[in-house]
């Protein structure tokens, strides 16, 4: 059977499975799954992700969050794709649970979990399938089927390149041939942090519930990082909703948040300067310059908006960016103008995130989302228990 029918689940605009990667590019696990869901048909990609802690649920979550799909990509289809990729790559009888049969203790001693480059990755036509490598495509084509972009530590140089090309379509950059030249054009490689590494990134997505499919009600939100170690339960009022009765669930009382001082005190940026930057970005569909989704999230370079001026994120957005905005809003309600020094710079974003994690602060929106996702992920866990055998039978 040809490959076209199976690939079209993601839509005809999704890059081909046989599109090669730039030899020198450092690409995060989230970028791989978000921009190139068909890359999961390569045994080299699957081996990397599973060796670094990936699971079917995490890969499913990343793809469904970032790809603009008419309906969710089924978790069992995700399983079938990665199992077939590994068997076609010579890993006969492979499943996620049996991965350590090949990724042995000896192999782990030389395995570099921090490696993000894809220079040695083989595409399917180089492993087991007929055909040839796909030629270069316009960089902007990587954006065409996207529902949201990777952000925060999920994003690295590839996301920066795609975002630049989307805002400068007349420049005509091609992927992957122009990758190195384009990266130099936008300032060179970004610094890699431990939060970019596969194992840390994939753990952030293990229990992340994607938004319902279909056109987003607002521009693409960034993602949240981490999850609490205990189940949380919100008590509801007496109008017929659930009580704190479920065994194993513990009531969560939001701890008071003390005043958090910003790491620096930047000058206020005139609104006109922000408006000019927004006009240059060419993304009026994202609302105004102080929308939470203007610039696709927090800006990585000046001018930086002060957070108290930015509009509230949508309720369903429980990303790190949205939680940081809500945290600063809660601070402002308690401490007033003293909080107005916070801006969206990477330095300030990291400080707010660290403070939230250290104090175990989450918003009411996050708690509601977490509680609603528990049932879904419990069902996914049950599927994972017997999914290996089912997927082997169906292929």
Predicted local confidence at residue 210, as pLDDT: 74
Q: Give pLDDT, residue 75.
A: 81
Which percentage of the chain shows pLDDT scores above 90?
40
Tokens linked to 68: 């603009």
* 286 and 198, same domain (yes or no): no
Report yes or no on 252 lying in a domain.
Answer: no
Q: Is residue 200 domain-shared with residue 305, that is, in the same domain? A: no
How confident is the model over 107-147, as pLDDT tens digits? 999 999 999 999 889 999 999 877 788 999 999 999 988 88
Evaluate whether residue 386 is within a structural domain: no
Mapping DSSP to helix (H, G, I), strand (E, B) and coil, where does residue 168 land? coil
Q: Is residue 326 part of a domain?
A: yes
Q: Environment class of residue 104 by beta-carbon count within 10 Å: exposed (0-12), middle (13-18) or buried (19+)?
A: exposed
Tell the residue number behind the tokens 């330095």, with chain if given: 347
The last residue of a domain, from among 206, 228, 254? 206
Instruction: Judge whether 259 lies within some domain.
Output: no
* Residue 22 in domain: no
End of a domain among 206, 229, 249?
A: 206
Low-confidence ranges of the chain (pLDDT < 50): 1-7, 215-251, 391-395
Give pLDDT, residue 249: 40
Considering 151, 173, 206, which residue would you say is the last residue of a domain?
A: 206
Q: Would you say residue 33 lies in a domain? A: yes
Range of the domain at 317: 271-366
139 lies in some domain: yes
Q: What gap in Å lies between CA 206 and CA 234, rounded to an integer?
A: 22
Same domain? 46 vs 136: yes
> How many domains are contained in the chain?
2
Encoded tokens for 330: 């809660």
User: Could you tell me if 191 and 284 lie in one domain?
Assistant: no
pLDDT in tens, 340-360: 889 999 889 989 988 888 888
Q: Tell me the C-alpha distance between 3 and 361, whole Å.
A: 47
The whole-angstrom separation of Cα 187 and Cα 225 is: 27
């Amino acid at each position: 059977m040809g490959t076209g029918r199976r690939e079209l689940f993601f839509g005809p605009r999704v890059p081909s499975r046989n599109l090669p990667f730039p030899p020198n590019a450092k690409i995060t696990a989230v970028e791989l799954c978000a921009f190139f869901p068909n890359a999961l048909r390569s045994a080299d990609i699957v081996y990397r992700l599973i060796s670094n802690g990936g699971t079917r649920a995490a890969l499913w979550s990343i793809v469904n969050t970032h790809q603009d799909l008419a309906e969710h990509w089924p978790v069992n289809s995700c399983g079938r794709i990665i199992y077939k990729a590994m068997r076609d790559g010579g890993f006969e009888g492979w499943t996620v649970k049996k991965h350590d049969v090949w990724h042995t203790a000896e192999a782990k001693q030389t395995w570099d979990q921090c490696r993000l480059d894809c220079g040695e990755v083989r595409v399917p036509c180089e492993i087991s399938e007929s055909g040839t490598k796909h030629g270069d495509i316009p960089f902007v084509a990587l954006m065409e089927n996207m529902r949201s972009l990777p952000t925060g530590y999920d994003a690295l140089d590839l996301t920066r390149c795609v975002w630049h090309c989307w805002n400068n379509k007349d420049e005509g950059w091609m992927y992957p041939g122009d990758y190195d030249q384009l990266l130099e054009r936008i300032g060179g490689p970004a610094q890699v942090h431990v939060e970019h590494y596969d194992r840390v990134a994939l753990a952030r997505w293990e229990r992340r519930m994607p938004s319902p499919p279909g056109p987003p009600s607002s521009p693409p939100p960034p993602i949240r990082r981490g999850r609490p170690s205990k189940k949380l339960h919100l008590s509801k009022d007496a109008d017929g909703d659930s009580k704190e009765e479920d065994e194993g669930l513990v009531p969560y009382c939001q701890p008071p948040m003390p005043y958090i001082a910003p790491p620096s005190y930047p000058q206020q940026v005139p609104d006109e300067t922000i408006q000019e930057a927004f006009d240059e970005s060419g993304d009026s569909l994202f609302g105004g310059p102080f929308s939470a989704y203007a610039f696709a999230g927090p800006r990585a370079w000046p001018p930086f908006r002060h957070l108290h001026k930015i509009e509230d994120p949508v309720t369903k957005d429980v990303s790190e960016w949205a939680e940081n905005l809500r945290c600063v809003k809660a601070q402002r309600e308690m401490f007033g103008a003293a909080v107005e020094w916070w801006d969206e710079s990477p330095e300030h974003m990291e400080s707010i995130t660290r403070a939230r994690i250290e104090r175990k602060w989450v918003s009411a929106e996050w708690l509601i989302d977490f509680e609603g996702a528990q049932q879904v992920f419990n069902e996914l866990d049950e599927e994972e228990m017997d999914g290996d055998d089912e997927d082997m039978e169906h292929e």
